[in-house]
């Protein structure tokens, strides 16, 4: 029997091996590690950092040659090419180390393999092998394994290949280009029962290859394309992950999704990635239980009776599922209440008092238990994607510090990296809420968070290389605090006061109560529902009022309100969160029943007749009074007036006064017009501010308004009149006729006209006809003309006893004419007398385009012999050049400039010719730069000698003064002040006067000759008319003085002196009043009577003691 059984088993084993070989031959590729167990043998006990142990074989059946590996032992690392290296120094105290390494296939499935690092010569249950690599193949899946042993060369290799960081720091170098990194992606945390709106964004993925080609994103797995289908969706264009409806942690606490990125050709752009969505628990389940037990009637106090056990399907190990027990009631309460006691933590019920008696009652006790609750945190995972925010539930019970994330730099392979965080919650208030392990980058929270204090923390992570500064650019970390239901709703006020009319219909809105909850408004934690808990009194019916559970609006729910019987109601209203099933609070609502509007207001007078002047806006027409028997100052007593007939054009308005709501005040909204309507009949009604509670008649009154005629000003048509005229329109020429009409047609009044505003004084208006003419010559270039427009105001008035005046605006557009000759702006130049540089002179013409450039120029008089003048290329400037080498001196150049229509005018330029060469003008009144030191010393000596002579002269004069003379000008002198004018002649022979002052008026007037010969024939100039603006008088005199200087017909011709204009108002008399006489008999003694100012003259001409000698 045993032999047969052995034969059967042998046959089955052979068949199984053959079938396994066939299957192995048929399989083209199996993803995973090439060996089920990896053994790496080393010859040293102490393994130093950077030691290469060997290679790990792995494939996921694609053409990829590099893969992502993770080691359970942080002292070892596997590079992407499979090289196993020592990350930190390791000592094999027991001769071996065991750990696991992990990787993922192309479908995102995680695969693991055990690794043993064995010191050569140390026996650890494995045969000793002397060859470099020994591979044993064993067929079978459960009891056999495929093992690889590798001897380490114990060599330190380049450690530049990056470890996979949990969080990535963006690169700042290499032209700000980014390159792909491997990431540790934290799990995505989504709170259950979220109220949306949906779809709600929860994360986003992105491939680095999207920069080179179009990438399409998708997700698969339970919750995406598998039941529950469509719970999660992804935007195929941008990789945004959405949840489409509220999650329920009690149905499913975690979702494992797979993200895919494909290019336009349909091929995989990235290996599929696992996305873990954790559902954050909310306190939305209550524990319910019923237990049956027995207790002997003779049991001693403290005897254990039964253990009750309650479970909560909320998140374990959080306050949401942490249960406490207590006994709420005992029935019967005999022989004593609290006959039993319960342990609040374990639920053990013990006998708490004596007196049990089975004969008194056999019904078992059924306790009702109560418990509190709370919430939890999350984990993170590693992938090549955009990292979502970190989510941490508030009120977590620890233990603290609690790990919430980790960052790592890929440069940690080459150098030591130190990690830190900054920002609010780290090194800024609240300081120390988050901390980071500087060696491994683990981020901890040190105490429970409170979402209501701060819902989000923005931290900045830093990675600093030892001795070289920043290893990575700083990275932002966002920590979101997940809400828990830890706040009760709060009413806006403890007591709400309202009023309700006694005749209010059912569903009449009375008052609205408002409560708020500072928990997350997107979750049930802050969703409030209202209910009325009690009503006092409960008559005539209960409930008499209803409340909208969502809005908090309280309405009348039944009829029967009676102010005389029940004038006030008190309601207790509850507001509860978690849609009314969570934490709650209460407030009082006190409603006062008010009187109903059962009496209509009545006018005290039914008709009024008043008179109102026309054209007045806001004029008081009449005040109307009413009476009302309802409660004073109530809405049912306050009157509301309305004009229902007689005012089709809206000329009137009726309101109530601020203090007396039973007075209607009618005023005018627009001015009344006697000529259109001389009488208005208004029909006015009155009601209350609230509708009548019962059907009542409406009171009316009639108001007759008589319009009083007043004198109205004439009205111009149009209000602004535009005309266009040339600026040289002759005096007395017609400009336009501008008339107005009198709206007082019944008065038959005459309309007359006058000028109200004419700034330049150019216009006059015919009083009776409104015809406007030119009074003085107009000038388009005058400063009162803006944009070629001159504005004047014309008045029209009637012949009433108190005339009314209306105004119209006349705007004259002045057409330009050629009435201004061009002039030269530069009047002074300086040139060298050798190789003189041409001078550019600017030409200006006050006329507009068409009467100005191009200009022409010619030299006049003696200027032709020494100078040349021509226009520049644009014909807007004159190029003046010295043609002859003149002696250094001041010269006058006369230039005649004409515009494009030939209107010309002579202009003079003062030219200072200096002894120099070229364009750098240096005049001879300077000290030569090369003067020697002896010359300078001689000059200084002469100056010192002259100074000594002056001092001696002053000393001599001072000694000759025998007595203090009376000052020439006394302080109390009441004579007129002396006026000083330009010096026009020399004084006494002993004074050296500068006679050049006599020529100042002739500097720019070379055409005025100082001789007795009539000058050469020159055309008579054009004189400028007198301006109306006094500010232009100076320019007027100067321009006409220039014209007179150019006029050859103006005598006299001999010794003509030209003086500057000094203004009017001089008190000096005319010189012609002084009679000259050759007689010596004139008595000059009278000069002594003229005051101290004429004492000198009296001494000179009046004679004295010297004449007697």
CATH number reported for the structural domain that contains residue 838 in this entry: 2.60.40.60
Q: What is the pLDDT of residues 610-663, one digit of tens each?
A: 999 888 898 999 999 999 887 888 888 889 999 999 999 899 999 988 788 889
Q: For residue 685, is it within any domain?
A: yes
Mean pLDDT of the region 83-107: 85
Q: For residue 109, what pLDDT is reported?
A: 77
Q: Where are the beta strands (DSSP E) in 129-249?
A: 133-136, 147-151, 155-156, 184-186, 188-191, 200-204, 215-220, 232-234, 240-243
78 close to 53: Cβ distance less than 8 angstroms: no
Pairing of strands 110-119, 76-78: unpaired
**249, 397, 484, 644, 752 from 524: Cα distances, Å:** 14, 22, 10, 54, 83
What's the Rg (C-alpha) of the chain?
57
**pLDDT-wise least confident of 256-270, 404-418, 928-942:** 928-942
- Is 404 in a helix, a strand, or coil? strand
Residues 836 and 752 grouped into a single domain: no
- Which secondary structure element, helix H or strand E, spans residue 896, and what is its range? strand 889-898
Count of C-beta atoms within a 10 Å radius of residue 283: 25
Residues 847 and 910 grouped into a single domain: yes
Structural domain count of the chain: 9
Q: For residue 924, what pLDDT is reported?
A: 67
Q: For residue 659, is it within any domain?
A: yes
**Angle at Cα 753 formed by Cα 750 and Cα 755, nearest 5°?**
165
Count of C-beta atoms within a 10 Å radius of residue 814: 21
Q: For residue 1067, is it within any domain?
A: no
**Angle at Cα 771 formed by Cα 1027 and Cα 762, nearest 5°?**
5
Q: What percent of the chain has pLDDT over 90?
A: 23
Q: Is residue 822 very low, low, confident or very high in pLDDT (cuts 50, 70, 90)? A: confident
d(CA 167, CA 182): 9
Q: What is the pLDDT of residues 911-931, one digit of tens each?
A: 888 888 887 888 865 433 444
Q: For residue 41, what pLDDT is reported?
A: 87
Q: What percent of the chain has pLDDT over 70?
A: 76
Residues 303 and 272 grouped into a single domain: no
Mean pLDDT of the region 385-394: 74
pLDDT exceeds cutoff 70 at 728 = yes
Q: For residue 1047, is it within any domain?
A: no
d(CA 382, CA 275): 10
User: Considering only CA atoms, which of 188, 241, 114, 217 is closest in space to residue 381?
Assistant: 188
1008 close to 896: Cβ distance less than 8 angstroms: no
Q: For residue 603, is it within any domain?
A: no
* Omega of the bond leading into 718 within 30 degrees of 0 (cis): yes
Structure tokens, 472: 């990575």
678 close to 612: Cβ distance less than 8 angstroms: no
10 Å CB burial of residue 944 (0-12, 13-18, 19+) is exposed
**pLDDT-wise least confident of 507-511, 750-754, 1060-1064:** 1060-1064
727 close to 780: Cβ distance less than 8 angstroms: yes
d(CA 1102, CA 1083): 7
Phi, psi of 624 (to 5 degrees): -110, 140
d(CA 433, CA 459): 11
Last residue of a domain, one of 674, 708, 742: 708
Phi, psi of 997 (to 5 degrees): -65, -20
Residues 270 and 291 grouped into a single domain: no
DSSP 513: -
Q: For residue 991, is it within any domain?
A: no
Residues 829 and 806 grouped into a single domain: no
Residues 510 and 586 grouped into a single domain: yes
Residues 578 and 496 grouped into a single domain: yes
Q: For residue 59, what pLDDT is reported?
A: 85
Last residue of a domain, one of 347, 374, 401: 374
Residues 26 and 147 grouped into a single domain: yes
Helix locations, 961-1066, DSSP H: 1033-1045
Residues 704 and 719 grouped into a single domain: no
Domain of 229, in residue numbers: 188-282
Provide CB contacts within 8 A for 660, sequence distance 6+: none
Provide CB contacts within 8 A for 898, sequence distance 6+: 821, 822, 855, 856, 857, 904, 905
Q: For residue 206, is it within any domain?
A: yes
More confident residue, 158 or 798: 798
pLDDT exceeds cutoff 70 at 97 = yes
Structure tokens, 554: 């309280």
Residues 459 and 533 grouped into a single domain: no
Cα 1093 to its chain centre, rounded Å, is 77
**Angle at Cα 544 formed by Cα 540 and Cα 546, nearest 5°?**
175
Phi, psi of 458 (to 5 degrees): -105, 105
**373, 394, 449, 484 from 398: Cα distances, Å:** 15, 11, 11, 15
**633, 636, 693 from 511: Cα distances, Å:** 21, 19, 20
Q: For residue 621, is it within any domain?
A: yes
Q: For residue 568, what pLDDT is reported?
A: 93
Mean pLDDT of the region 1035-1059: 67
Q: Is residue 905 very low, low, confident or very high in pLDDT (cuts 50, 70, 90)? A: confident
Residues 666 and 623 grouped into a single domain: yes
The label of the residue with tokens 């009631």 reads 329
Q: For residue 442, what pLDDT is reported?
A: 92
Q: Is residue 458 very low, low, confident or very high in pLDDT (cuts 50, 70, 90)? A: very high
Residues 478 and 538 grouped into a single domain: no
Last residue of a domain, one of 460, 483, 506: 483
Structure tokens, 958: 């001072």
């Amino acid at each position: 029997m045993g032999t047969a059984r052995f034969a059967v088993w042998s046959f089955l084993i052979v068949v199984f091996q053959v079938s396994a070989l066939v299957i192995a031959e048929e399989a083209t590729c199996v993803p995973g590690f090439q060996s089920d167990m990896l053994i790496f043998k080393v010859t040293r006990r102490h393994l130093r950092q950077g030691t290469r142990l060997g290679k790990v074989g792995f494939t996921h059946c694609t053409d990829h040659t590099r893969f992502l590996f993770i080691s359970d032992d942080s002292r070892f690392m596997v590079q992407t090419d499979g090289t196993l290296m020592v990350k930190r120094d390791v000592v094999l105290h027991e001769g071996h180390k065991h750990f696991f390494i992990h990787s993922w296939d192309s479908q995102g499935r995680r695969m693991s393999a055990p690794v043993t690092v064995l010191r050569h010569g140390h026996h650890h249950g494995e045969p000793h092998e002397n060859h470099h690599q020994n591979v044993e193949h064993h067929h079978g899946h459960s009891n056999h394994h495929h093992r690889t042993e590798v001897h380490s060369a114990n060599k330190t290799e380049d450690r530049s290949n990056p470890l996979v960081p949990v969080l990535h720091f963006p690169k700042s170098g290499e032209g700000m280009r980014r390159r792909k990194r491997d990431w540790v992606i934290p799990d995505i945390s989504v709170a259950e029962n979220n109220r949306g709106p949906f779809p709600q964004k929860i994360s986003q993925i992105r491939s680095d290859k999207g920069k080179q080609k179009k990438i399409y994103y998708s997700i698969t797995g339970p919750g995406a394309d598998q039941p529950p289908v469509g719970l999660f969706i992804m935007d195929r264009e941008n990789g945004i992950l959405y949840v489409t409806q509220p999650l329920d942690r009690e149905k499913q606490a975690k979702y494992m999704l797979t993200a895919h990125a494909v290019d336009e050709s349909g091929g995989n752009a990235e290996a599929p990635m696992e996305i873990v969505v954790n559902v954050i628990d909310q306190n939305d389940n209550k524990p319910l239980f019923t237990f049956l037990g027995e207790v002997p009637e003779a049991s001693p106090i403290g005897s254990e009776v039964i253990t009750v056990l309650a479970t909560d399907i909320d998140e374990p190990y959080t306050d949401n599922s942490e249960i406490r027990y207590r006994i709420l009631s005992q029935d019967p309460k005999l022989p004593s209440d609290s006959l039993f006691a319960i342990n609040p933590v374990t639920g053990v019920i013990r006998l708490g008092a004596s007196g049990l008696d089975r004969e008194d009652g056999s019904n078992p006790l059924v306790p009702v238990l109560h418990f509190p609750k709370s919430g939890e945190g999350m984990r993170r995972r590693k992938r090549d994607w955009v990292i979502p925010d970190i989510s941490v539930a508030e009120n977590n019970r620890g233990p603290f510090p609690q790990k919430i994330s980790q960052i790592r730099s890929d440069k940690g392979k080459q150098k030591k990296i130190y990690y830190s965080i900054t920002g609010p919650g780290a090194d800024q208030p609240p300081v120390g809420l988050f901390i980071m392990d500087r060696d491994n980058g683990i981020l901890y929270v040190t105490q429970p968070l409170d979402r209501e204090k701060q819902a989000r923390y923005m931290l900045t992570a830093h990675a600093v290389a030892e001795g070289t500064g920043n290893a990575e650019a700083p990275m932002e970390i966002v920590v979101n605090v997940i809400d828990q239901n830890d706040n009760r709703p709060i009413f806006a006020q403890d007591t709400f006061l309202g009023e309700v009319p006694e005749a209010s219909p059912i569903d009449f809105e009375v008052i609205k109560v408002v409560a708020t909850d500072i928990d997350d408004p997107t979750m049930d934690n802050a969703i409030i529902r209202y209910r009325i808990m009690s009503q006092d009194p409960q008559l005539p019916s209960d409930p008499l009022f209803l409340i909208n559970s969502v809005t908090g609006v309280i309405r009348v729910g039944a009829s029967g309100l009676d102010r005389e019987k029940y004038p006030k109601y008190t309601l207790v209203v509850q507001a509860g969160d978690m849609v009314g099933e969570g934490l709650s609070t209460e407030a009082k609502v006190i409603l006062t029943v008010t009187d109903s509007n059962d009496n209509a207001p009545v006018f005290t007078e039914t008709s009024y007749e008043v008179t109102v002047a026309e054209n007045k806006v806001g004029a008081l027409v009449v005040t109307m009074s009413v009476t009302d028997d309802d409660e004073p100052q109530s809405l049912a007593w306050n009157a509301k007036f309305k004009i229902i007939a007689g005012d089709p054009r809206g000329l009137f308005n009726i309101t109530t006064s601020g203090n007396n709501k039973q007075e209607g005040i009618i005023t005018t909204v627009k001015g009344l017009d006697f000529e259109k309507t001389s009488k208005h009949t208004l029909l006015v009604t009155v009601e209350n501010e609230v509708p009548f509670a019962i059907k009542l008649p409406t009171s009316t009154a009639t108001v007759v308004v008589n319009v009083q005629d007043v004198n109205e000003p004439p009205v111009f048509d149009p209000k602004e009149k535009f005309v266009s005229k040339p600026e040289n329109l002759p005096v007395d020429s017609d400009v336009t006729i501008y008339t107005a009409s009198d709206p007082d047609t019944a008065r038959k009044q005459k309309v007359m006209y006058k000028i109200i505003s004419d700034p330049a004084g150019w216009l006059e208006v015919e009083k009776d006809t409104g015809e406007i003419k030119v009074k003085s010559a107009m000038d388009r270039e005058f400063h009162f003309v803006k944009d070629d427009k001159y504005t004047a105001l014309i008045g029209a008035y009637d012949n009433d006893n108190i005339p009314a005046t209306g105004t119209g605006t006349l705007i004259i557009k002045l057409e330009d004419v050629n009435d201004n000759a061009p002039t030269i702006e530069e009047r002074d130049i300086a040139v060298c007398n050798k190789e003189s540089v041409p001078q550019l002179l600017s030409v200006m013409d006050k006329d507009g385009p068409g009467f100005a450039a191009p200009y022409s120029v010619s030299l006049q008089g003696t200027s032709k012999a020494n100078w040349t003048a021509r226009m520049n290329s644009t014909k807007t400037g004159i190029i003046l050049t010295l043609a002859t080498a003149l002696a250094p001196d001041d010269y006058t150049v006369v230039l005649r400039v004409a515009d494009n229509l030939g209107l010309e005018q002579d202009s003079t330029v003062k030219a200072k010719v200096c002894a120099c060469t070229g364009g750098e003008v240096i005049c001879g009144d300077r000290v030569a730069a090369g003067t020697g030191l002896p010359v300078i010393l001689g000059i200084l000596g002469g100056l010192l000698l002259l100074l000594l002579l002056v001092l001696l002269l002053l000393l001599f004069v001072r000694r000759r003064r025998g007595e203090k003379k009376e000052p020439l000008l006394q302080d109390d002198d009441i004579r007129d002040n002396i006026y000083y004018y330009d010096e026009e002649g020399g004084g006494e022979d002993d004074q050296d006067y500068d006679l050049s002052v006599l020529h100042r008026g002739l500097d720019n007037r070379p055409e005025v000759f100082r001789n007795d010969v009539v000058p050469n024939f020159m055309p008579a100039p054009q004189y400028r008319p007198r301006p109306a603006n006094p500010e232009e008088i100076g320019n007027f005199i100067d321009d006409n003085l220039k014209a007179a200087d150019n006029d050859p017909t103006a005598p006299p011709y001999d010794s003509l002196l030209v003086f500057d204009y000094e203004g009017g108002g001089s008190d000096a008399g005319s010189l012609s009043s002084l009679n000259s006489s050759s007689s010596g008999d004139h008595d000059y003694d009278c000069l002594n009577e003229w005051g101290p100012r004429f004492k000198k003259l009296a001494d000179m001409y009046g004679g004295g003691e010297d004449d007697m000698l």
